[in-house]
Amino acid sequence: MPSAARHVEFTAQAGRGDDLAAVLVEVGESLRGTAGCDSWVVSRVPGEPERVVVDERWHDRAVMLASAEASKDDERLPRVMALLDPDRRPAMTELEPVGGAGLLPPPRPGVTLRSLLDSEDQAAAFGFGSQGESRFPGPDLGLERTGVALHRMPADARSAFGHVHANAEELYVVLAGSGRIRIGDEDRDLAPRDAVRVAPDVVRGFAAGPEGLEVLAVGPKCPKDGDVLQDFWGA
């Protein structure tokens, strides 16, 4: 897993912790969308108002060092330096991430083109073929950070179970057919090109209409994040 990280602790002058944190948040916000920057998080230390901590994660060490070099010309650098306690220099620890929750591999380079229907039908493989098809083409497409699923349900079929996530926000897009999505205890009608965003902690399941239902699901890749509810539809 080629990645690099740094942990940096800053100490502001007395009464200037809020100001230092605000400037460092500006720096972090400016890095959104920067190639190779996975995260740049500013935190406070409870009970120690002058301490501000930055945790960075980058695709690799070369990118991290290049960003550090470029930051020397950042107009915010003099503002940060002016807020620091002159007797307590920033303490930096360079890290090599090795694994853990939330630590995803870098995206693969290049482009992959495949038919979604080339991926194995997991519904049939696990004995739920009567409820339709469920294909998860992420591995075939080489997706490292995005989850995707194609669900195709015959007329009047229902999901074999409901499911819920701990962290993954999902978007469902109706490609064809009609039906409904049950969100908790509420049903919503679905038509082609409808899009439904579902928060992680909301239980959901699908029922097809007389024309069947085809839905594409997209969300962040969160391994081991889903739970199923076998009695979702009730008696």
| pLDDT tens, residue by residue, 182-215 | 998 899 999 999 999 999 999 999 999 999 999 9
% residues pLDDT > 90 (the chain): 74
pLDDT given at position 1 = 55
Judging by beta carbons within 10 Å of its beta carbon (0-12, 13-18, 19+), is residue 53 exposed, middle or buried?
middle
In CATH terms, are 4-95 and 116-229 the same topology?
no
**Helix ranges restricted to H, the chain:** 17-30, 61-70, 77-83, 122-125, 138-141
CA distance 217 to 177: 15
Mean pLDDT of 146-156: 96
Q: Is 215 helix (H, G, I), strand (E, B) or coil?
A: strand
Mean pLDDT of the chain: 92
How does pLDDT run across 107-123, given as a tens digit for each residue? Answer: 888 999 999 999 999 99
What is the SS3 string spanning 102-142? CCCCCCCCCCCCCCHHHCCEHHHHCCCHHHCEEECCHHHHC
pLDDT given at position 230 = 81
CATH of 116-229, one of 3.40.50.720, 2.60.120.10, 3.40.1170.60, 3.20.20.10: 2.60.120.10
Better pLDDT: 222 or 122: 122
Domain chopping of the chain, boundaries: 4-95, 116-229
Q: For tokens 């007389």, what's the residue?
A: 210
Q: Which residues on adjacent β-strands are paired with residue 11? A: 51
How does pLDDT run across 29-71, given as a tens digit for each residue? Answer: 999 988 889 999 999 999 999 999 999 999 889 999 999 999 8
CA distance 70 to 90: 18
Whether residue 222 is predicted with pLDDT greater than 60 in this model: the reply is: yes
Burial 16-44 (b: 16+ CB within 10 A, else e): bbebbbebbeebbeeeeeeebbbebebee
pLDDT given at position 126 = 87
Better pLDDT: 182 or 100: 182
Strand 226-229, strand 204-220: pairing? unpaired
State the amino acid at position 234 in one-letter form: G
SS3 content of the chain, % helix, strand, coil (to 5): 20, 40, 40
pLDDT given at position 2 = 62
Confidence band of 150 (pLDDT split at 50, 70, 90)? very high
State the amino acid at position 216 in one-letter form: L
pLDDT given at position 225 = 83
How does pLDDT run across 5-14, given as a tens digit for each residue? Answer: 999 999 999 9
Mean pLDDT of 131-155: 95
CATH of 4-95, one of 1.10.1740.110, 3.50.50.60, 3.60.20.30, 3.30.70.100: 3.30.70.100
Q: How many other β-carbons are positioned within 10 Å of the β-carbon of residue 99? A: 6
